[in-house]
Structure 1
Amino acid sequence: MDTLTAHTSQLTADELRAIRSLLDDAFEGDFADEDFEHALGGMHVVIGVDGRLVAHGSVVQRRVLHRGRALRTGYVEAVAVRADLRRQGLGGQVMARLEEVVAGAYELGALSASEEGAGLYLARGWSVWPGRVGALSPDGPVRLPDEEGSTYVWTPPGAARPDPAAPLDFDWRDGDVL
């Protein structure tokens, strides 16, 4: 098994195509171009077995407004494991590497989890954000009630945990904001 941690700029066009193919398969066709775009521009963890990509995840920088302060946030994107290799620890290996990136460069880790993926994140110490979730839209702050209950946060060792009484307002982006 080979594990690589690399910035998007260090990945070849073939590697990016292989990542996109894995994500399309893992999300069963429910992975749009905008979703892939969200996974780019940061650090990727890729795991290969016998020259085939079997697991991926990335962390990109987001700004999250909390109590009037912009938190530098490592946002986890596009975590996927090939279907026939799930439940063998590969997702945990990907997350361990991504958490190292978050701990080394960010004040907060965040992600939006599906019901299927929630167990992985909870087992690793991520927790559902109990407060309000919103976005800084082009028209001003908006609440994202559909994201409440599926937005997870992780605080790196030594970092202060955000106050759940105050909302987390994420920077705007095209497609799914979270």
Structure 2
Amino acid sequence: MTEMTTAHTSEVDPVVLQAARALCNDAFDGEFSDDDWEHALGGVHALVWESGVLVGHGAVVQRRLVHGGRAWRAGYVEAVAVREDRRQRGYGAAVMGALEDVVRRAYQVGALASADTALDFYAGRGWQLWRGPTSVLTPTGPERTEDDDGGIFVLPVEVVPDLDGPLACDWREGDVW
């Protein structure tokens, strides 16, 4: 039996959070850092359970994105992962559906950084690939993030962005996007 739950980080049992962290680490082949996990905390988690076992996870947290002279309240998707032996069963789509509902209800725009292998997955769900230059607002000023160009997606909610214009994210430790 499959079950989907959503809950704020403060409402998720610490044992479940540890299981979600382990799931992300496994799904990203050990390339999921402490900073990556930190980025997924403080928002709403979507959790997919199969017969009581956690098989899917994702989170949406609030960030600020700057575009067109305006700061947007963005629902930023983090730590989307499905257990390797449970992929291609719709669990990733279920996680994203729950997170997209949160984004549409609480934010002006959704955003996420995609791995190359997931570009088609997000585009197929209606996320729009950002074509313009990206940057981060560091403590010492704006810095370009050329390596992230071509991998950032947005989900318009209240705002319709110029996808060819510049986009900046707020500063954080680790991967900024």
Query: Could you state the TM-score of these two structures normalised by the residue count of structure 2?
Result: 0.97
- Partner Cα separation in structure 2 for residue 15 and residue 160 of structure 1: 35
1:36 aligned residue: 37
Give unpaired runs (5+ residues) of structure 2: none
Alignment of structure 1 residues 1-178 onto 2, 5 Å = 1-156=2-157, 159-178=158-177
Question: Alignment length, in residue pairs?
Answer: 176
User: What letter is aligned with 1:65?
Assistant: V
1:160 positional shift: 2.5
- Partner Cα separation in structure 2 for residue 15 and residue 85 of structure 1: 18
- Partner Cα separation in structure 1 for residue 5 and residue 161 of structure 2: 31
Taking only aligned residues, the RMSD between alpha carbons, in angstroms, comes to 0.9
Q: Is the 8 A contact 2:136 2:142 kept in 1?
A: yes
- Partner Cα separation in structure 2 for residue 3 and residue 105 of structure 1: 20
Query: Could you state the TM-score of these two structures normalised by the residue count of structure 1?
Result: 0.96
- Partner Cα separation in structure 2 for residue 42 and residue 173 of structure 1: 15
1:148 positional shift: 0.4
Give unpaired runs (5+ residues) of structure 1: none
User: What letter is aligned with 2:17?
Assistant: L
Q: Is the 8 A contact 1:71 1:108 kept in 2?
A: yes
User: 1:31-61, CA deviations, whole angstroms, 9 ceiling, x for partnerless residues?
Assistant: 0000000000000000011111000000000
In the TM superposition, structure 1's runs of 4+ consecutive aligned residues that sit over 4 Å from their partners are none
Identity across the alignment (%): 49
